[in-house]
Structure 1
């Protein structure tokens, strides 16, 4: 509500007299600023504001410390100099807050105080880190203890398990004890053929470990296997060959004992006689494992007519399964001799390596392959429709090339097969490239064909 001009002047006069009275009461200087209304007339109201300056001689009065916000002054209270004071003419209450200079000083002082408080000395930091680490260790110990208690509540202790096993009268056997028990059962006159077959299967599982295979030989198990190979029961022959192949695989000690015990002769006999395919597959597995990386056994194999036996088996196999295994075995034998010969070019050689190089030099495998007609046998495997069979045949042909090149060049069937296969696999490679495939298996076969053709030129 706006007052007439005369009333507004009177209100301003009353405000001036009231401020003068306040100054006389507190005994300090004061300054009053009258704020005009928006319409330009002097007047008073709830929003009128005055700036009061009071000296800091407090006397007996209570001095109120202003803040950034307006606060009501009670009768008898004084304020510091530079404070803003306003009078609400409607309620007659005085209100005070910090002046601009005071606010600036208070804000700067407050900021410096906060910075001082936020600064932590090195000793305080070390103490805080030490306390934090102690608390973490304490929490971790509590967690570990809870976990230990939880696990302990779920599982029984070792002593409890031993006590329970003793009550059940159980016997935990070692591999040695198991193999001894199996051999005793096999040699028992009460054992049936089915039981012996089951025993051989258990032994095959155990001899995959090098130590177990050697232990089986020392216990007389090798002789038991050889008796199985000489059995008239083809099931015992198959299972015994399986055990022998697993025992000699990557186990030079057992390889030597097997050759010295005459294991090659019964194996070649089975291959040379009419036997089911499954038996001959297991026997070929045993022969390949016995000859691998063992030139001494390879010499015995050649001297016992091994290549001739394999040649007859190759010719009789129509499906290609045995052919592929035979060609793979021959390729491995040629490759390992070649690798040993290349390694022999090194300047630093130990005595054992020199001995191996010498033993391989006594194995005339390539010459035997030429004499036994393998230069014309291996190309027959290219007639197979299986890509894997063709790949193995091509690798074997490349390995045999040093002694078979003349026969390769005169073999029109081989030349025609290579041309046909090259065109076929190049088309497959092109098809794969169209769909975004590169470095495919078929491209590798094309490279093998090209390498063989280059050698034959």
Structure 2
């Protein structure tokens, strides 16, 4: 795609609406497209997306997250570069500081889950970096303070993946999980009996 240099340059445009629109274009092009993922990385597009993840505008963050998801899925090289650029720390900060932006945060948690399913080594690193505690905090917040069944479901699913990938490294906060179970109902959170047993052991 000969337009990559132009698009990546536009990710630094002074107008946040331009950056937002271009991030959406990039994200659409990157999905399930190894050639596009490689070209995007070769043209140094990832740092621009990480910068956009830290923007003040929710839509800009959302479209940057969309593009990052398209880039990282099924692309180990992109995951490594994202990790080296402290991208996972940026996503963790988003979960801590942008609790009002539930739409984007659901996508952040979904991406964590997808990447851990694909890569057990990455799961270990994320767990050691504090992801489990962050998921517990997210579940507690969206159960008690701002009820959001979909958010809690995604966070529980991601917590389950972490436990399944590295059972010896993950200590579960059973009261937090039980509260979510009781608040929303087991059937509404799309976990089967065996999965609940793992989370509430």
Q: TM-score, normalised by structure 1?
A: 0.40
Which residue does the alignment assign to 2:113?
331
Which residue does the alignment assign to 1:265?
47
Residues 10, 19 of structure 2: 8 Å contact kept: yes
Q: Distance in 2 between matches of 1:443 and 1:245?
A: 29
CA offsets, 1:236-288, max 9 Å, x none?
Answer: 1001101100111111111111011111111001113x320011000000000
Deviates more, 1:393-402 or 1:241-250: 393-402
Q: Distance in 2 between matches of 1:397 and 1:381?
A: 11
Per-residue deviation, 1:380: 2.0
Give the secondary structure class of the aligned counterpart of 1:408. Answer: coil
Per-residue deviation, 1:443: 6.9
Counterpart pick for 1:399 among 155, 161, 182: 161
Q: Distance in 2 between matches of 1:315 and 1:421?
A: 19
The answer to whether 1:375 aligns with 2:132 is yes
Q: Distance in 2 between matches of 1:276 and 1:323?
A: 14
Residues 375, 404 of structure 1: 8 Å contact kept: no
Give the secondary structure class of the aligned counterpart of 1:310. Answer: helix
Which residue does the alignment assign to 1:242?
24
Q: Distance in 2 between matches of 1:444 and 1:264?
A: 34
Q: Distance in 2 between matches of 1:310 and 1:379?
A: 16
Larger radius of gyration: 1
Per-residue deviation, 1:322: 2.5
Ranges in structure 1 where 5+ consecutive residues have no aligned partner = 1-216, 339-363, 430-440
Per-residue deviation, 1:446: 6.0
CA offsets, 1:355-411, max 9 Å, x none?
Answer: xxxxxxxxx4123313322110012221311221111111100111144755524xx
Q: Which has the higher helix share?
A: 2
Which residue does the alignment assign to 1:284?
65
Q: Distance in 1 between matches of 2:191 and 2:41?
A: 37
Residues 285, 376 of structure 1: alpha-carbon distance in 2 compared, 3 angstrom cutoff: same
Which residue does the alignment assign to 2:190?
444
Which residue does the alignment assign to 1:123?
none
Residues 331, 395 of structure 1: 8 Å contact kept: yes
Residues 284, 301 of structure 1: alpha-carbon distance in 2 compared, 3 angstrom cutoff: same
Which residue does the alignment assign to 1:293?
74
Counterpart pick for 1:251 among 33, 39, 51: 33
Q: How does 1:89-100 map to 2 (within 5 A)?
A: none
Residues 423, 371 of structure 1: alpha-carbon distance in 2 compared, 3 angstrom cutoff: closer
Residues 4, 40 of structure 2: 8 Å contact kept: yes
Which residue does the alignment assign to 1:59?
none
Residues 307, 368 of structure 1: 8 Å contact kept: no
Residues 404, 310 of structure 1: alpha-carbon distance in 2 compared, 3 angstrom cutoff: farther
Q: Distance in 2 between matches of 1:368 and 1:287?
A: 19
Residues 407, 334 of structure 1: alpha-carbon distance in 2 compared, 3 angstrom cutoff: closer
CA offsets, 1:171-193, max 9 Å, x none?
Answer: xxxxxxxxxxxxxxxxxxxxxxx
Structure with larger RCO (C-alpha < 8 A, sep 6+): 2
Per-residue deviation, 1:334: 1.1
Paired residues, number: 193
Give the secondary structure class of the aligned counterpart of 2:119. Answer: helix
Per-residue deviation, 1:453: 1.6
Q: Distance in 1 between matches of 2:189 and 2:114?
A: 23
Q: Distance in 2 between matches of 1:245 and 1:395?
A: 24
Residues 370, 404 of structure 1: 8 Å contact kept: no
Residues 20, 64 of structure 2: 8 Å contact kept: yes
CA offsets, 1:192-239, max 9 Å, x none?
Answer: xxxxxxxxxxxxxxxxxxxxxxxxx1xx31111111101111011001
Residues 405, 324 of structure 1: alpha-carbon distance in 2 compared, 3 angstrom cutoff: farther
Q: Distance in 1 between matches of 2:8 and 2:167?
A: 37
Q: Distance in 1 between matches of 2:119 and 2:160?
A: 15
Which residue does the alignment assign to 1:419?
178
